[in-house]
Structure 1
């Protein structure tokens, strides 16, 4: 069963990644082009350093970057899908809904919340021309820390909900509180990052961030639905094969 879930995750993750890539191409790339145009205009307005020997050409052309977008989202889908399938096989029958389709949808929604939405709310994505290149290491580290906090909060919430006594309301209350405590603490304790240059169009920044968040939403929604559909189809085939295998 583990092998089946991993292979299913790889294939459906690749498909969901390509779907998300198509969304990013339509909804996100125009904003990237606009941000690059602003960055190039700002660079052109500044005098070039005396020791600058670059020819001013981008190392990778925009057409190549746009084509590589689908490669990146496809590889992302492969990696995430394989890990998701492995984790789902471990959770099956232990945590969450009993049916495979419902478990897949619940796990995909939880993953989006923990590893996408929470880090995004604290450290949202930025287009080109936003952010100091010298702080990219520290900003990446902070983002990873927030991602780990999201995963830890989900694990603590699930464990707290399972161990809580009482009725459904008590268990849900413990689950929500167990999730919010580490998340709120991280939001308060981790430093704020604001490196948006003065004069950068707020509308462009907002639309780019929405497109970035939407790309992840499209990926996880497509992946969750596809995984649930595959699980339901496998269950139907298994149930249909039982009468045929039974002795007459």
Structure 2
């Protein structure tokens, strides 16, 4: 794959990230802001500090602030996913552009979102000791790095076993090895800390469910949109035949 194609896929990956970010922002605003407001209300009711003037209003945080954060995150994630797509294409099986992008999106959701979430689930405001914020953040990113590295190792293991065991059995063995090593890593990593006394369990559940749902939508839409855009670059004839790309130009009539 030459550099011009990689550059084109990188741009399309970032565009896919912007579009996926817009969808994720819509879902986050619809289902995520209510538990955040409830958590902030709990924190305010149980705080002994005098409230100061807000530098950024809550309305601004839940609209423009949230949109900016999600779009920046989606754009960066789209670029990284496009590079992962370039690496995976042709190396994980005889899949086309759309199937490969969908698998990369699924793998990204599992390794970057789901596995770290199982050990260190997202917490709303008022949950967690502010003094341990840096430690909890470092542990969360450590879990992401471990998950991604273990997933790459599992993929290499599956490729090594495929000639002898077959693709299906090798994939099952690699997935089982990934799950086992992840479970061991989770057992040895420290816990994130407990909940403040009296914090509503339903608010915590709604926030965590909304966080995971936003991540699922972001990765799913990113994989699907990237696959659609990448197909137009890598398989223009197939895209034109299915009506998803520009029709090929007709040849000039012979004289």
| TM-score for the superposition, normalised by structure 1 | 0.89
1:37 corresponds to: 41
**CA shift at 1:86, angstroms?**
1.6
Does the C-alpha gap of structure 1 residues 191 and 242 become closer, same or farther in structure 2, counting only changes over 3 Å?
A: same
Could you tell which deviates more after superposition, 111-120 or 235-244? 235-244
Quote the Cα distance in structure 2 between the aligned partners of 1:141 and 1:95.
31
Structure 2: runs of 5 or more not aligned: 241-246
2:31 pairs with 1:27: yes
Q: Give the structure 2 partner of residue 135 of structure 1.
A: 132
| Aligned residue number for residue 170 of structure 1 | 169
Q: Which residue of 2 aligns with 1:205?
A: 204
The structure 2 residue matched to 1:5, chosen from 9, 18, 32, is: 9
CA RMSD of aligned residues (A): 2.1
| Structure 1 unpaired stretches of 5+ | 49-53
1:1-248 equivalences in 2 (<5 Å): 1-43=5-47, 46=48, 48=49, 56-66=52-62, 67-164=64-161, 165-234=164-233, 237-239=236-238, 240=240, 244=250
The 3 A distance-change label for structure 1 pair 181 and 55 is: closer
How far apart, in 2, do the equivalents of 1:33 and 1:95 lie?
A: 44
Cα deviation for residue 191 of structure 1 reads 1.1
Measured in 2, the distance between the counterparts of 1:188 and 1:203 equals 26
Q: Secondary structure at the match of 2:152?
A: helix
Q: Any idea what the Cα deviations from partners look like across 1:176-208, whole Å, max 9, x if unmatched? A: 233123201111111112331111000000000
The CA deviation at 1:58 is 2.4
SS at match of 1:198: coil
How far apart, in 2, do the equivalents of 1:94 and 1:236 lie? 17
Structure 2 Cα separation of the partners of residues 97 and 57 of structure 1: 58
